[in-house]
Amino acid sequence: MRPQIGVIGLGKFGRSCAIRLAELGFEVLAIDETQSNVDSIKDDVALAVVADTTDPAELEAAGITNCDTVVLTIGAEIEHSVLTAAVLKEMGIRHLVAGLVRPARQAAFSHRRRSGRLS
């Protein structure tokens, strides 16, 4: 069985991350709240789903709990990223990787990164 990785947020970074992981042989579950983003990647990954990533029921229905690791690449709103991360942790996702692509977010989390933990 191939390792399963979830990628949440299918903007430029999330889309390229999901495609590359699939090319490397991972089974990728790609999730975004925008249908057009999901449609643009559905042929490149194992499963692409539209879901509200702050809703545990929608994430459960999408299959996120089957993933060994989740890569969180939501870039639009920090509040949405934080809420999604909290939901994923509450759901028991053990390995959560957050892409901090904006300098302000990197600064906000830099003290946590030094200790090796975001939670």
**Per-residue pLDDT tens for 32-87?**
999 999 999 999 999 999 999 999 999 999 999 999 899 999 876 788 888 999 99
What is the CATH number that goes with domain 4-115? 3.40.50.720
Sign of CA dihedral 5, 61, 11, 118: negative
Cα of 76 vs its chain's centroid, Å = 13
d(CA 89, CA 78): 17
Query: What token pair was written down for 71?
Result: 């890569």
Residue 103 pLDDT greater than 60, yes or no: no
pTM over 0.75: yes
The SS3 of residue 26 is coil
The SS3 of residue 77 is coil
The kind and range of the H/E element at 103 are helix 103-115
